Amino acid sequence: MEPGKALEILQDLSDGIDPHTGEIFPSDSPYQHPDTVRALFKAINALARIQERSKREKALPENAGKPWNAEADALLAQQFDSGVSFKELSKDHKRTDGAIKARLIKLGKMSPIGDVKPRSL
């Protein structure tokens, strides 16, 4: 079941509505009990957070979170020294701007406060 469909069902239940028939549950229904409604709201919030996290992860570049290797480090340093923009570096290495900047700091090409060190000629 898709998370979106599960959220719709949980929302209907928390609103006191049968998700299959659209009928309102009677007042003595377990779905109308305050503890049940609170539990449903907690489930809705948890599922919504999972869905948001999944969207964020899908939006990340392909290499986000993956370890760097010596070859990628050498290429990054060479490109940076050649004046390639952060945007292009991020695109070429399939990483976030933050990952590129952090790696350049680790490679000694930038200082931690964001100042670019002199490029080698």
Residue 71 reports pLDDT greater than 60: yes
What does pTM read for this prediction?
Answer: 0.57
User: Which tens digits make up the pLDDT trace of 95-111?
Assistant: 999 999 999 999 999 98
CB 92 within 8 A of CB 84: yes
Q: How many CB atoms lie within 10 A of CB 112?
A: 9
| Mean pLDDT calculated for residue range 72-99 | 95
Residue boundaries of the structural domains of the chain:
3-59, 61-121
In the structure, what pLDDT confidence band is assigned to residue 54 with cuts at 50, 70 and 90?
confident
What DSSP state is assigned to residue 94? Answer: T
For residue 115, the model assigns a pLDDT of: 58
Separation of alpha carbons 44 and 39, rounded Å: 9
For residue 36, the model assigns a pLDDT of: 95
Q: Which two tokens stand for residue 14?
A: 């928390």
Separation of alpha carbons 82 and 109, rounded Å: 12
Residues 6+ apart with CB under 8 A from 89: 76, 79, 80, 100
DSSP class per residue in 68-88: P-HHHHHHHHHHHHTT--HHH
Separation of alpha carbons 84 and 95, rounded Å: 15
